[in-house]
Amino acid sequence: MPTFFHMIHGAPDPVAPFSHAVEADGWVFVTGQMPFTGTSCDSPYPQGIEAQTHQVMRNLETVLTGCGLGLRNVVSVRIFLRHFEEDYEAMNAVYASYFAAGQRPARTCVGVTGLAKGARVEIDLVARRDPPQQAPAAAA
């Protein structure tokens, strides 16, 4: 199967040389999103971890939608926090609101010393495209 390199209209411009998402064999790897409020990577960030987490999730949803997917397709998430101890609980409260209990993706969350352009949070993810549906066999 071919590999697709997605650049999504309406998603924030990359801060470095990368695609918004890369798809191979039904797996979609979405690049970490920052809390930009617009499409320019010079857009301001909202204040506070709750607002930044909401904005990152909206940006991830924009990329997923541009790939014909949604949060229901997400199988794995990685979260990077610049102020881990201070922001972990509040980020989790916001994050949890995007996924139904019992249907949350696998996840890793780590503290880091810095993120691009001073963000407090960055999130990347892996999604899986639903396989094409087979037509039911005709009755004999």
Q: Which residues pair with 49 in a beta bridge?
A: none
- CA–CA separation, 134 and 44 (whole Å): 46
The pLDDT value recorded for residue 132 is: 65
Beta strands across the sheet bearing 3-6: 3-6, 21-24, 27-33, 121-128, 74-81, 106-111
Element (H, E) at 128: strand 121-128
CATH topology of domain 3-128: 60s Ribosomal Protein L30; Chain: A; (3.30.1330)
* SS3 track for 87-124: HHHHHHHHHHCCCCCCCCCEEEEEECCCCHHHCCEEEE
* C-alpha span between 23 and 2 (Å, rounded): 8
pLDDT in tens, the chain (140 residues): 789 999 999 999 999 999 999 999 999 999 999 999 999 988 889 999 999 999 999 999 999 999 999 999 999 999 999 999 999 999 999 999 999 999 999 999 999 999 999 999 999 999 999 876 555 665 55
Tell me, what's the pLDDT at 134? 57
Q: What is the structure's pLDDT at 39?
A: 92
Bridge partners (DSSP) listed for residue 120: none
Residue 100 CA from chain centroid, whole number: 16
pLDDT at residue 119, as a whole number: 96
- Spell out the domain ranges in the chain: 3-128
Rounded distance between C-alpha atoms, residue 135 and residue 63, angstroms: 30
